[in-house]
Amino acid sequence: MKLLAALLLTLSLPGAKLSQPLRTPTNPTASADARSQVRGKWYFAESGHAVFCYGPVMLVTLPKGGLQRVATFCKGDQAMVPLKD
């Protein structure tokens, strides 16, 4: 009977609640970085430089009648960058 009374008294105290098992810590900035990361791809420009572009690669007609592959929406406020084939 004393054991039952001690158990009930222990459980009724405010600080005696059973604690949750500890969870493994997570890196909150890793998930935020993954969400804010813009997807794109590196391309080799006709000028010989590497450019990072977000849009699709398209074929555009040149004024002289040929076709040119271009990457669209590139970093550095360039709408189209001619690509080296």
Q: 27-58 pLDDT, tens per residue?
A: 666 655 555 667 899 999 999 999 999 999 99
Which structure tokens are listed for 46?
A: 């006709």
Give the global pTM: 0.54
pLDDT band at 4, cuts 50/70/90?
confident
- Residue whose C-alpha is closest to residue 85's, from 39, 38, 66, 77: 66
Q: Which domain holds residue 78?
A: 40-85
> Rounded distance, CA 61 to CA 82, Å?
12
pLDDT band at 67, cuts 50/70/90?
very high
Residue 44: inside a domain: yes
- Mean pLDDT over all residues of the chain? 81
Residue 27: inside a domain: no
- The structural domain count of the chain equals 1
Task: Lowest mean pLDDT of 8-12, 57-61, 76-80, name the range.
Answer: 8-12
State which H helix or E strand residue 13 sits in.
none
Residue 3: inside a domain: no
Burial class (CB in 10 A: 0-12, 13-18, 19+), 70: buried
Beta-bridge partners for 71:
57, 81
Asked whether the beta carbons of 45 and 53 are under 8 A apart, the reply is: no
Residue 85: inside a domain: yes
Residue 80: inside a domain: yes
Residue 5: inside a domain: no
